Chain A
Amino acid sequence: MKNIITIISKEFTRFFTDKRMILMTVLPAIMIYAVYTFMGTLMGDMFSPDEDHASQIFAVNTPASIVQSAPMFGLTIQSAGANEIDIIKENIINNEADLLIIFPQNFDELVGEFDSRTGPAPNVEMYFKSTEPNSQEAYFMMTALLDAYKSSLVTLFDINRGVENPDLATPENVAAMLISMLMPMLLMIVLFSGVMGLALESITGEKERGTIATLLVSPLKRRELAIGKILSLAVLSFLSGIVTAAATILALPNLMGGAAEDSINVDIYSATDYILLALIILTTLLLMVAMVSIVSAYAKTVKEAGQATTPLMILVMLVGVSGMFGGGAQTEMIYFFIPLYGSVQSMSGIFSLDYSVVNVLIACISTLVYASIGGFVLTKMFNSEKVMFSR
């Protein structure tokens, strides 16, 4: 036990006194934040219309009924003569006008007289520019106005008249759904890359440089070395995971634009949720560390170890993606015994606030068992000269 602590404290000293190592941990977090924020801003600019923009809407033969209801939709309609049609179209192309509506003469009367048996319905032409958010917006609003007008003519029944907010999903539900879809995958990837960054250096690196041999001739037990390495790597990658995850969570609202700002609210989770989440993350980390350590111990060089862990990374990503599909987490107990998959299902369940504590605990315990098996294998490998001194 004392030896394990000695090993852990050395690994920590190695990490925390090396500016380069810390930078390498913090840098991805900063990158994620910057890239997400940048992407969010970019997408926002691209798809959302200018709030302050006063729409330039022109109409020919404007009927009184439409002009009256326009302010309710936040629209102002300017009248234009039939001779101006071409000029206005030209202006729309040049982004100087947003929308052109051409009503038939005496629109209101025509509509009143219309009988589907006697002939075609009166036609309204609308011209806009779909690549221009302001024009697009004006077109949508105008269509909504005309639709409302149309249904006011023949009312058979109304839907949701006077109902303020028919969507009964609470903001918590919406947030939980979004988070539960994205977070397990993000977490798995972030955790695994943290593990990779540290374990390759700490195991293959030490083997390649011959420094682990110095430990192997000391009275240290191979088991103590394996446990000390796995524990310290798990804690360090947990820390680096927290930093990256925090950056991700902070950047998420920026990525999704204003919409997510109100809905992603971390307050929705209880203490139990957090404890279970921490448990599943820590046990999963131990398993990941064990997996990567075994591969690292086999590899002869850090480069080779990096190549050998890439398939593992892809596997972890695929398992992480599984949390996004299938309509919520699995409920059958058997799934929670599957390494990694059980973890993702647990995370997904916890995030969507729809899980069974027993299943999550099963996932934690079985993951811990797999990690211990991994630790046992690593001990055997530290004992094997073929592995440790292969060149």
Chain B
Amino acid sequence: MSVILKAEGLTKTFRLSAKQQKLQNTKKKTITAADHISFEAHEGEIFGLLGPNGAGKTTVLRMLATLIKADSGDAIVDGSSIKTDPEGVRSKIGFLTSELKLEDFFTPNYLFDFFAKIHHLTPEVRDKRKKELFDKFGINKFAEVKVVNCSTGMKQRTSLVISVIHDPNIVIFDEPTNGLDVITAKVVTDFLMEQKALGKTVVLSTHIFSLVEKLCDRAGIIIDGKMIVCDSLANITAEKPLEDVFFDLYAEAKGGEEQ
């Protein structure tokens, strides 16, 4: 299988404001949210980034989506570099994370049409895609309800649909099932497996082990901004269950820090 997404030494350091230093109880002026992260995702597979809260998963994905710039390192996404061709990268990926909000004033239907235009979809393609996605995610019922009046789950479904409006080859989802009920969560995981079946590549982040076990072909475990392990799920869980692997790695990483 060919490599379609390749991250090499992605590093991101944030400055901490005085307030944040206090909140995180640290004297450090900066925090390295991603520390030389490298991994590859192959065409037609689901790759999972697994890590505890604050590990740096979202930061890595935001760099891949060109929302923020890497301090060093680069990533090639389907032939486009996040450094030199950010627009190319953005047109090839579908990115979903909780910080991307939809305008309260508009309806899912209007927003779908708007983003279809931004992606230069023809009206025929747009309508076909709309029917497909609205049916699958049950958006028809609230397609004309202003976002402000939509529930959290409705908003998230709309966001998801809009993120993949252009039928991208690579889907990058940050915590895609967060805040969803089991039924909607299943719709999302089914969708991701379907994407895989269609030969598309999925990169997702999560702190839920079962999700990785259920979906991922390969996974990387991130702790404190560092990629500790990156391998096929079969290899990672060869000796013990994923959860145990993770706790051992976590203890090791944290133990080393405390001495």
Contact = CB atoms under 8 A, between A and B. Distances in A.
B102 to A, nearest CB: 6
A23 B147 CA distance: 22
Contacts of B162: 214
A264 to B, nearest CB: 41
B209 interface: no
A213 B100 contact: yes
A304 to B, nearest CB: 16
B99 A209 contact: no
Given A385-B67, A389-B68, A218 B115 contact: yes
B119 interface: yes
A214 B106 CA distance: 14
Nearest to A206: B103
Given A217-B95, A385-B69, A14 B105 contact: yes
A6 B101 contact: no
A211 B99 CA distance: 8
Contacts of B49: none
A6 B117 contact: yes
Contacts of B100: 210, 213-214, 217
A273 B115 CA distance: 42
Interface in B64-105: 65-69, 87, 90-91, 95, 99-105
Contacts of B191: none
B259 to A, nearest CB: 34
A206 B105 CA distance: 11
Contacts of B91: 219
Main secondary structure of the interface of A (DSSP, over half): helix
A76 B230 CA distance: 110
Nearest to B116: A6
B118 A213 contact: no
Interface string A8-39: 00100110001000000000000000000000
Contact of A385 (B68, B95, B110, B120): B68
B67 A210 contact: no
A261 to B, nearest CB: 43
Interface in B112-128: 114-115, 117-120
Q: Which of B66, B103, B119, B162 has the most CB of A within 10 A?
A: B103
Contacts, number: 58
A6 B114 contact: yes
B68 A3 contact: no
A10 B114 contact: yes
Given A211-B103, A217-B95, A13 B110 contact: yes
A3 B118 contact: yes
A4 to B, nearest CB: 11
Nearest to A3: B118
Given A206-B103, A219-B87, A219-B91, A213 B67 contact: yes
A45 to B, nearest CB: 46
A216 B118 contact: no
Nearest to B96: A217
A207 to B, nearest CB: 11
Nearest to B95: A217
Nearest to A2: B120
B101 A210 contact: yes
A221 interface: yes
Contacts of B104: 209
A3 B119 CA distance: 9
B105 A214 contact: no
Contacts of B69: 385
19 contacts: A2-B117, A2-B120, A3-B117, A3-B118, A13-B106, A209-B101, A209-B104, A210-B101, A211-B102, A213-B101, A214-B159, A214-B162, A217-B90, A217-B100, A218-B119, A219-B90, A219-B91, A219-B118, A385-B69
Interface of A: 2-3, 6, 10, 13-14, 18, 206, 209-211, 213-221, 385, 389
Given A213-B67, A218-B118, 15 more contacts: A2-B117, A6-B114, A14-B105, A14-B106, A18-B105, A206-B103, A210-B99, A210-B101, A211-B102, A213-B100, A214-B101, A215-B118, A219-B91, A219-B118, A220-B118
